[in-house]
Structures are given as C-alpha cells and as structure tokens.
Amino acid sequence: MPDTTPVVVIGPMGAGKSTVGKRVAKRLGVPFTDTDRLIVRQHGPIPAIFADRGEPAFRQLEADAVRQALETGGVVAVGGGAVTHAATRDALVGARVVLLTVSPEAVAERISGSDRPLLAAGGIDAWQTILDERAATYAELAHVVVDTSRRPMSHVVDDVVAWVRGTTEGAP
C-alpha cells in the first residue's frame, strides 16, 4: 500500500514552492494544492484580504486552507508566512515537510514587480527581514532542506522526489 502522508513545501517568498510542488506532484502522480490559490478562489485576491481584513484574518484563512489541502493529500505548497500561525504549524504535524531556500540575490530577480503585500514598501530588504523572522520556524518544521538559488528547477524537483520516495520505501 502506498504511503499517503502529504508532502508540504514551505519556505520564503520566491523560493519556488508552487513551481516545485506542482512538478513534484506530477512526478509522483498525486494531487497538488497551492494554498494561496485556494484562498484566492474562495476569498478573493490576497492583497485585498490584507488591505481589508488585515494579516491576522488572512493567516486564519490560510490555516483553514492548509488543513483543507492536507485532507486532499498529495503535495501542498503553502504561503511563505503560513508557518507563523500556530494552527498551521499544528496542522503540519505528521506531514513530510520540505523547506526550499533561496539566496537574496536569486530571489531579487524572482520577486521584482510582484504584488506581494508584505514586500510592497521594502523590496528585498523587507524580504530579508521577513526571512530572518521566520528562519528558525522553517528550520524547526523541515524534514529536508533543498536550495533553489542557482539550480535548474528540474534538479530541485529530482532531489525532492528522490527524498519523498526514500521516505516511502520503509513504509508498510
């Protein structure tokens, strides 16, 4: 019987969580859920949620979306700040957690011109501050860390798929 433990991809904004998650799910033949997309489908654009309701309300919607995605199973990509909410961290217990990391230099190219609410005023400096605040939580939750800075995404996907398959070989 195959291992149905969900794989959750965490990491800072711009690390490639959605791209990697989608490709890993396809390779493993399992569903993929991007919790940010789930929130947008159910509640509207994320920048508008931040503006109208504030970050705490958004984080609660996000925690709900993470729980919903974990019930679906497969591979789940969560927003960069999802791990800041206790309910989200609790929901991740029992999942296989992949932390994607990225250097500030590599992420600067990826996030330029984005509408990410937490970067609106500060760009790469804001990104670094946010990463510094979340780094310990990312490290605490992660079962494996894969850097995406200057590697082809196909290699990153290969590494994650190999790790997931390695964690399932010992499964009953």
d(CA 143, CA 167): 10
Closest Cα partner for 66 from 48, 83, 45?
A: 83
| Average pLDDT, rounded, for the chain | 89
pLDDT above 70 for 121: no
Span 11-28, mean pLDDT?
Answer: 95
Give residues with Cβ within 8 angstroms of 129, minimum separation 6. 122
Span 107-121, mean pLDDT?
Answer: 62
What pLDDT score was predicted for residue 169? 54
What pLDDT score was predicted for residue 117? 55
Span 88-103, mean pLDDT?
Answer: 96
pTM of the model: 0.90
d(CA 39, CA 18): 14
In this structure, what token pair is assigned to residue 84?
């800041």
Give residues with Cβ within 8 angstroms of 149, minimum separation 6. 101, 102, 103, 105, 106
- What are the structural domains, with CATH classification, of the chain? 7-165 (3.40.50.300)
The CA distances from residue 66 to 6, 53, 128, 148, in Å, are: 11, 19, 24, 23
What pLDDT score was predicted for residue 111? 66
- Amino acid, res. 137: T
In this structure, what token pair is assigned to residue 95?
């999942």
What pLDDT score was predicted for residue 105? 83
**How do residues 32-64 score in pLDDT, each as one tens digit?**
999 999 999 999 999 899 999 999 999 999 999
